[in-house]
């Protein structure tokens, strides 16, 4: 080696020393970037599923509640028809009217009581007792609304009854005689009916809330804790405005009475003039996501620490080798010192640089998906970037130990990982065509060198093909026997054919960079007791065939 070459080598080492901190930071940050993208994608998927589930729950509960209130309205109409045109005040001493109300109340388990209020605001008849004392109902909302001309079924705010002392709400409709207001026919709703129904069905075992809400946004019933709803309920923020324009929707920033946050969906009842609100706490929605994200974060942190540790050990090993070779050079003299310097391993591995470039391209594609919305290839792109980080870690580990170790690798899995890794760098994308019978495609090679060789082979062929060319990789199992034409000795092999076909152009001559990549692949194949064949069957097609001994063949792992 000349002194000029020695100086060039030193300049390259100095350049590598300057880039080493950048490479270390990039490798350490990649797992964290992947963690962020994966967590964001998983969060979006979890929230979409939660919104669909909450809205479906609101629809189911709204249908059930609407059926209950429709039956109440029908029952009140039947009572109104039964008492005909008789003045309401004269029904106070009519035992038949009391029996009619009591029978109606017993037919429906959700009715707490059925009663009539005369035009002056006093209870005239009730299902509870006969005769009923003239209880003053002039301040009740059901009376004031009916007297003010309320039409159809009206639902009052919750109030505490004079007999049971429990908090309930009433459904009422006005009674008219000759077009004039003659009183109110009302039903108090038994809250425990809905509370038990929701607790035993849709709301069992989860931290959720169901509420019946009036058009002004005021909740007249809430479950769980239906009995303690309170006589002065607070309106649901933002719901009244949405009810004016929508029949259903999602409240993403719902706040529970205990000030905890959650997600809620609402659905208007078609006949009752109310809305069903179904809310789930944020803790319940994201519980599984929090657990998965914690696992993702620990894995990403562990990967980053592993990369930093590997780089640190590699740098320490390099310094030890420098001291060893410097000592050998001092003992051997000037002539042999050049040979010793030539043996110093390069810190900037070419394969590591290539793999990290592909990982950065994959992350760029993932970032575009994150900006424009998740695409169908987001999962594959993230898996490809993760595979690239794993290969980079193994390359750094191989640098530290001055060589990798051969092991069994499935070629189909390796090609699929290669396809995902190249999603951000090669277009049109690489297609992997697996045989239908799924033969044994295991080879015994150094996995790091195999990954780098496959990348070099694809990129080398891509540089020879015209733009828009299609590249297909097809692995299969071959037995080379006596009389078989093959570039390898007799034995069992895994053969991978890479076929590049140009759609609107011819194959170009191999450039120096393309020849270098293919020569490196050929060296890898020969070191693994295999071979590489490259041929051009026609002006628009180039075929490269990689032969590697199958894993069942006994061989010396040290040759890999």
Q: What is the arrangement of strands in the sheet containing 541-549, beginning at the earlier edge strand?
A: 431-432, 470-480, 491-501, 541-549, 531-538
Would you list the DSSP string of 261-292?
EEEEEEEE-TTTS-EEEEEEEHHHHTHHHHHH
In degrees, rounded to 5, the angle at the alpha carbon of residue 74 between the alpha carbons of residues 70 and 77 is 140
- What pLDDT digit, counting tens, does each position of 358-413 carry? 666 666 666 665 555 555 566 777 777 777 777 777 776 666 565 567 889 999 99
Backbone angles phi, psi at 350, to 5 degrees: -60, -40
- In which element (H, E) is residue 480 found? strand 470-480
Q: What is the CATH number of domain 41-289?
A: 3.30.450.20
Q: Which is nearest to 127 in space by CA: 146, 160, 101? A: 101
Q: List per-block mean pLDDT (blocks of 10 residues) for the chain, which spans 560 residues.
A: 45 60 73 79 81 85 87 89 82 88 87 89 88 86 87 83 71 86 88 73 63 84 61 68 82 72 84 84 75 77 74 62 50 41 42 66 64 63 74 69 76 90 75 78 90 90 81 92 89 93 76 86 92 90 94 52
Q: Kindly report the CATH number that applies to the domain delimited by 349-560.
A: 3.30.565.10
Instruction: At 522, list the tokens.
Output: 């050929």
Q: Produce one character per residue of 459-471: b if its CB has 16 or more CB atoms within 10 Å, e if not.
A: bbbbebbeeebeb
pLDDT value of residue 321: 55
Domain assignments of the chain as residue spans, ordered by start: 41-289, 349-560
Cα dihedral sign for 332, 337, 342, 343? positive
Please give the Cα distance from 348 to 365 (Å, whole number).
26
| Structure-block tokens of residue 46 | 């979890």
Closest by Cα among 415, 409, 422 to 560: 409
Cα–Cα dist 140/157, whole Å: 9
Q: Give the residue from 126, 181, 180, 190 showing the smallest Cα distance to 158.
A: 190
- E runs forming strands in 24-83: none
Beta bridge partners of 277: 211, 266
- Alpha-carbon distance of 171 to 110, in angstroms, equals 12
Q: Is 309 left (phi over 0), alpha (psi -120 to 50) or beta?
A: alpha
Q: Within 10 Å of residue 396's Cβ, how many Cβ atoms? A: 22
CA–CA dist 535, 507 (Å, integer): 11
- Here the tokens at position 68 are 């209950």
Structure tokens at 214: 């009036």
Q: What is the pLDDT of residue 167?
A: 75
Tens-place pLDDT, residues 206-232: 577 888 888 888 888 887 764 444 555
- Residue 134 is given by DSSP the state -
SS3 per residue for 180-225: EEEEEEEEEECHHHHHHHHHHCCCCCCCEEEEEECCCCEEEEEECC
pLDDT digits (tens, 9 = 90+) for 53-110: 888 888 888 888 888 888 888 888 888 888 877 888 788 888 888 899 998 888 888 8
| Residue with token string 């639902």 | 155
Query: What pLDDT shows up at residue 530?
Result: 94
Q: In angstroms, rounded to a whole number, what is the distance separating the alpha carbons of residues 191 and 170? A: 10
Paired tokens of 532: 């590489």
The pTM is what?
A: 0.49
Q: Are 457 and 516 in contact (CB under 8 A)?
A: no
Q: Which residues of 144-164 are buried (b: 16+ CB within 10 A; e: fewer)?
A: ebbbeebeebbbbbbbeeeee
């Amino acid at each position: 080696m000349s002194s000029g070459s020695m100086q060039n080598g030193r300049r390259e080492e100095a350049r590598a020393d300057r880039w080493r901190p950048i490479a270390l930071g990039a490798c350490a940050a990649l797992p964290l970037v992947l963690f962020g993208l994966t967590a964001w994608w998983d969060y979006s998927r979890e929230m979409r599923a939660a919104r669909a589930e909450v809205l479906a729950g609101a629809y189911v509960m709204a249908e059930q509640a609407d059926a209950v209130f429709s039956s109440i309205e029908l029952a009140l109409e039947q009572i109104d028809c039964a008492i005909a045109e008789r003045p309401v005040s004269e029904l106070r001493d009519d035992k038949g009217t009391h029996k009619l109300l009591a029978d109606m109340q017993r037919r429906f388990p959700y009715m707490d009581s059925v009663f009539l209020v005369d035009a002056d605001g006093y209870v005239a008849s009730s299902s509870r007792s006969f005769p009923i004392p003239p209880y003053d109902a002039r301040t009740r909302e059901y009376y004031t609304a009916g007297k003010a001309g309320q039409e159809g079924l009206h639902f009052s705010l919750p109030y505490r009854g004079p007999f049971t002392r429990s908090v309930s709400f009433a459904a009422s409709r006005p009674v008219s005689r000759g077009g004039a207001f003659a009183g109110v026919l009302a039903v108090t709703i038994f809250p425990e009916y809905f509370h038990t129904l929701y607790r035993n069905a849709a709301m069992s075992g989860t931290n959720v809330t169901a509420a019946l809400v009036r058009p002004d946004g005021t909740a007249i019933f809430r479950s769980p804790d239906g009995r303690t709803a309170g006589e002065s309920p607070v309106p649901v923020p933002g719901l009244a405005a949405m009810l004016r324009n929508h029949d259903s929707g999602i409240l993403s920033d719902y706040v529970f009475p205990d000030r905890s946050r959650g997600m809620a969906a609402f659905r208007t009842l078609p006949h009752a003039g109310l809305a069903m609100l179904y809310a789930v706490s944020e803790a319940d929605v994201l519980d599984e996501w929090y657990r998965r994200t914690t696992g993702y974060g620990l894995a990403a942190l562990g990967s980053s620490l592993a990369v930093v540790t590997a780089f640190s050990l590699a740098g320490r090993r390099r310094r030890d080798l420098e001291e060893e070779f410097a000592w050998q050079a001092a003992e051997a003299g000037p002539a042999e010192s050049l040979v010793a310097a030539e043996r110093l391993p390069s810190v900037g591995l070419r394969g590591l640089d290539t793999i990290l470039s592909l990982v950065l391209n994959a992350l760029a594609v993932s970032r575009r998906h994150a900006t424009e919305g998740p695409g169908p290839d987001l999962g594959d792109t993230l898996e490809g970037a993760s595979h690239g980080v794993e290969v980079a870690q193994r390359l750094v580990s191989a640098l530290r130990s001055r060589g990798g170790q051969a092991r069994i690798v499935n070629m189909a899995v390796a090609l699929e990982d290669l396809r995902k890794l190249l999603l951000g760098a090669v277009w049109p994308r690489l297609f992997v065509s697996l045989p239908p019978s799924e033969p044994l495609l295991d080879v015994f090679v150094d996995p790091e060198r195999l990954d780098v060789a496959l990348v070099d082979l694809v990129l080398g062929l891509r540089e020879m093909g015209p733009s828009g060319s299609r590249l297909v990789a097809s692995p299969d199992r071959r037995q080379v026997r006596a009389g078989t034409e093959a570039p390898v000795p007799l034995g069992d092999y895994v053969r991978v054919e890479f076929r590049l076909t140009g759609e609107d152009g011819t194959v170009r001559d191999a450039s120096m960079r393309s020849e270098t990549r293919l020569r490196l692949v050929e060296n890898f194949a020969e070191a693994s007791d295999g071979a590489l064949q490259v041929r051009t069957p026609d002006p628009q097609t180039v075929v490269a065939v990689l032969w590697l001994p199958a894993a069942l063949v006994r061989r010396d792992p040290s040759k890999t």
